[in-house]
Amino acid sequence: MSESDYYSYLRQIHELYGDEIFVTFPETMQTYSLSDFENEINACEKCSLGKTRTKFVFGVGNPQSPIVFVGEAPGKDEDLQGEPFVGRAGKLLDKIFAAINLSREDVYICNVLKCRPPQNRDPLPSEIELCEPYLLRQLEIIQPGLIVALGRIAAHTLLKIKDRMMDMRKQTYIYHGIPMKVTYHPSALLRNPSFKKPAWEDFKEILAVYNQILSERSTNG
């Protein structure tokens, strides 16, 4: 809004309400942003990973994205750079996004655990218990229309199930009120190229949902 628009807006408000003016708070005062949350938690030492990590890996991408991708935990490269999926698996993920005309700026990417487990071991139940509330808060702020769990471990961890990938990827689950799909972890695609075909089917479906959510959001304002 230009300065003159702003004054004419204020004049209209004054005509309507006299000297009693109701103002809305500027957006920055109204909303608690993802970066506010990141600043609040990025020195976390609730579990031992807080002492062994190099960098806290909060998440990256568009805070208004319709879709949030959730991996398992940062690896070596992510721990060094403070950003999820920047190593070999991350490069493949970027290529998959590019193949469906998306980039990491269109989506939001984070992990169940925000700190790297030593030697990339699986997350411990106690670590998940302490870290999952951070993911839930991120989702509360972003309000995505779809979550995509990347890999068996992320899916098992979030959904508290032990099903096989080939079964999970055919389902749509609900995670804390939000629809959740499951697909292969990009590391699994690097290890086993025969998973690339079903993963490609999954990502085409994910793109369709992404476009559907965007169009619903634009119709509903």
Does residue 78 touch ligand URA according to CB under 6 A? yes
Stretch of 43-51, 60-68, 85-93, 172-180 contacting ligand URA, by CB under 6 A: 85-93
Which of positions 116-175 make contact with ligand URA (CB under 6 A)?
none
Phi-psi domain of 17 (left: phi exceeds 0; alpha: psi -120 through 50; beta: other) = alpha
Does residue 79 touch ligand URA according to CB under 6 A? no
Half-sphere exposure of 91 (CA within 13 A, CB side): 4
CB 184 within 8 A of CB 72: no
Stretch of 16-24, 38-46, 82-90, 201-209 contacting ligand URA, by CB under 6 A: 82-90
Does residue 202 touch ligand URA according to CB under 6 A? no
Structure tokens at 169: 């990827």
3-state SS class at 219: helix
Residue nearest to ligand URA (CB): 71
C-alpha 52/C-alpha 47 separation (Å) is: 10
The one among 65, 111, 138, 183 contacting ligand URA by CB under 6 A: 111
Query: Which residues are at the interface with ligand URA (CB under 6 A)?
Result: 71-75, 78, 84-85, 89-90, 111
